[in-house]
Amino acid sequence: MEKSSKIYVAGHRGMVGSAIVRKLQCEGYNNLILRSSLEVDLRNQSHVEQFFGSEKPEYIFLAAAKVGGILANNTYRADFLYENLMIESNMIHQSYVHKVKKLLFLGSSCIYPKLALQPLKEEYLLSGFLEETNEPYAIAKIAGIKLCENYRRQYGCDFISAMPTNLYGPNDNYDLNNSHVIPALIRKFHEAKINNAGVVEVWGSGTPLREFLYVDDLADACLFLMNSYSDVHFVNVGSGEELSIKDLAFLVKNVVGFNGKIVFDKSKPDGTPRKLMSNEKLFKLGWKNSISLKEGIKMVYNDTFKKEVVS
């Protein structure tokens, strides 16, 4: 991409999209197209068609999606499947119709089978059953990968896909009803701290293993892939390191400064027992993350919550 290339970041107000915008602006890209969901409803075929016809983007980072944690994924199953299918179908097809030079589609590590071998290699896709609680979202993301793959095969479109591991960072969702594990833990421990509570309850047994990536590292990887990768196969993006939910809870507890106890509610679902992604492919291409988990959680807490304690 040239610095003056017309670049559309779909989902620029979300955690991932806003990180991509920050990265692009930091690197001197000065012709960004940014539209909120109120301005362009990406689920609506005619809205998307009109948008492409008037704006004519050259490059697209497709970060727009309906996202949530275990509770939201399991509760709003039809919404997660329908809305994500519509967003990616409309965006990828219109990118073909309007001859977009390159598109990067962002998926999720939940595309892999629940009991797949670890670490998760790209070739393990569709090799087994998905985790039940987020199956609709995973199916939608798999469909996005296959859309990019087959528009490339049939029409020669330069559409690529990247599968991030579990993400956290600025502009995350801290609603306990539909947030992911790190923002949920940060909020729980923060509120317990300021309310002088003695106990924080954490969902599940604490035994599942997870990998996490600071969202600005993902944005760096996205720009790297957009400028240097072109292939039919998708690429995992992660840190290559994992820890248990129990260890994560104690890490967040220490960062926040909560002095009470942690109780694990084993009646709540654990989700996939382990989910470590193989980053061998991306590392061989020359990219690696730079922000450690502890450093990232400290930055998020200081930027988002710590000021409340100080004030």
**pLDDT (0 to 100) of residue 274:** 83
State both tokens at 81: 């499947």
Report the amino acid identity of residue 205: S
Catalytic residue among 8, 112, 137, 301: 137
288 compared with 310, residue with greater pLDDT: 288
Q: pLDDT by residue (tens digit) across 187-196?
A: 999 999 999 9
3-state SS class at 210:
strand
- Of the pLDDT bands very low, low, confident and very high (cuts 50, 70, 90), residue 74 is confident
3-state SS class at 235:
strand
Query: Is-above-0.85 flag for pTM?
Result: yes
Phi-psi region of 221 (alpha: psi -120 to 50; beta: other; left: phi over 0): alpha
Q: pLDDT by residue (tens digit) across 113-164?
A: 988 999 999 999 999 999 888 899 999 999 999 999 999 999 999 999 999 9
3-state SS class at 233:
coil
**pLDDT (0 to 100) of residue 176:** 77
- Whether the CB-CB separation of 84 and 127 falls below 8 Å is answered with no
How many Å apart are CA 74 and CA 70, to the nearest integer? 6
**pLDDT (0 to 100) of residue 212:** 96
29 is catalytic: no
Whether 108 shows a pLDDT value over 60: the answer reads yes
Query: Does the CA dihedral 261-267-269-273 come out positive or negative?
Result: positive
- Whether the CB-CB separation of 268 and 71 falls below 8 Å is answered with no
- Class at the top of the CATH hierarchy for domain 7-170+212-239+277-290: alpha beta
Whether 81 shows a pLDDT value over 50: the answer reads yes
7 DSSP β-pair partners = 32, 59
- Of the pLDDT bands very low, low, confident and very high (cuts 50, 70, 90), residue 306 is low
261 DSSP β-pair partners = 199
- Whether the CB-CB separation of 80 and 68 falls below 8 Å is answered with yes
The mean pLDDT value of the chain amounts to 93
Whether 47 shows a pLDDT value over 90: the answer reads yes
CB atoms within 10 A of CB 256: 25
How many Å apart are CA 79 and CA 182, to the nearest integer? 23
**pLDDT (0 to 100) of residue 174:** 86
How many Å apart are CA 276 and CA 118, to the nearest integer? 6
186 compared with 176, residue with greater pLDDT: 186
Where do the domains of the chain lie?
7-170+212-239+277-290
